[in-house]
Chains A and B, each alone.
Chain A
């Protein structure tokens, strides 16, 4: 194995650049080094001006998502050695505006997320102060997969629908809506459906399936969206066929 690898890093400094460009850095190639370790080496030893986001280094915080060799990845869970002999291309997450170097503007996602009300909605006045919400293991299993989302936004970077139509609510937000819909403690399904049945909601999705392919937590947002479509279609048929009281 070579003892170094070239990293081709996307740079953009808004105060001086009109468009992004590539800058190459040679970093040590060690079996245990991730792409994020490579970037940290650049920042600490080679070029302090490089800007990027990171925090936990263990696939929990979801802040180090970038496009590595064109694929959305958590850079803390992507090893440099997998791209030897290099060069390995590191770009900001696709489909988001670039603020600086590898940092993207996530404002759009932050605005969309609360629209689907990703919290427990009750139709009674019982709160956690009144006691625990008890749940069986089966009830937990029903939504657990969708609760693993870490909001890393790799699914948005992989989704061509979102790239072409930024109004689309997007995979992670819909998966989180499904997470709360499937929660036995929640009674907000109807409210969320009202939001997601709109044009920019689930029907924007044409099931490319890449959101699920790139998800580092195996949340399967594509599955959540298709389930939501079935739910929305069933509701529409019911609304058409049944009298108001029976829906």
Chain B
């Protein structure tokens, strides 16, 4: 790491393997990092859906049967929970990275976070309308 004041005797500690279980914030951080895998899974799941639609009604029905299997339902429920964590933590991060000023006054963090939730809500409502109507 660095010079140890010339003694050669400085004691270098190692991070324990389970360091991320020592503190709630560390654990949440590792879960957030892990959520990326589930995001990738859902992208793949969507691409498979698009491919099934492109291959005609039989392939689409097969996809729906596969999607309804208990294992996949469990995987997707877990993936959805991780997506929620991912979204929440990403929205929380935004005001840290973006410092916006309107007429010389700094936009408060809650406003930046709020706008994102409004956007998410509007987009979700639009997709729900598209699917259900």
Which of A98, A138, A209 is within 8 Å of B25, CB to CB? A209
Whether A210 touches B25, Cβ cut-off 8 Å, given contacts A166-B1, A229-B97, is yes
Q: Is the CB of A208 within 8 A of B10?
A: no
Q: Is the CB of A107 within 8 A of B11?
A: no
In the complex, chain A residues whose CB is within 8 Å of the CB of B15: 95, 160, 163-164
In the complex, chain A residues whose CB is within 8 Å of the CB of B7: 14, 99
Answer whether residue A128 sits at the interface, using C-beta atoms and an 8 A cutoff.
Answer: no
In the complex, chain A residues whose CB is within 8 Å of the CB of B11: 12, 14, 19-20, 97-98
Answer whether residue B55 sits at the interface, using C-beta atoms and an 8 A cutoff.
Answer: no
Answer whether residue A227 sits at the interface, using C-beta atoms and an 8 A cutoff.
Answer: yes
Answer whether residue B12 sits at the interface, using C-beta atoms and an 8 A cutoff.
Answer: yes
Query: For window 75-100 of chain B, which residues contact chain A by CB distance below 8 Å?
Result: 93, 96-99
Q: Is the CB of B96 within 8 A of A107?
A: no
Minimum CB–CB distance for B110 against chain A, Å: 15
Minimum CB–CB distance for A45 against chain B, Å: 27
Which of A99, A164, A206 is within 8 Å of B29, CB to CB? A206
Q: Is the CB of B4 within 8 A of A107?
A: yes
Answer whether residue A108 sits at the interface, using C-beta atoms and an 8 A cutoff.
Answer: yes
Q: Is the CB of A160 within 8 A of B93?
A: no
Q: Is the CB of B12 within 8 A of A97?
A: yes
- A14 and B11 CA atoms in complex are apart in Å by 8
Q: Is the CB of A160 within 8 A of B20?
A: yes
The 6 sampled A-B contact pairs (Cβ below 8 Å) are A14-B7, A138-B104, A160-B29, A206-B29, A207-B93, A226-B97
Residues of B within 8 A of A (CB): 1-5, 7, 9-13, 15, 19-20, 22-23, 25-26, 29, 33, 93, 96-99, 104
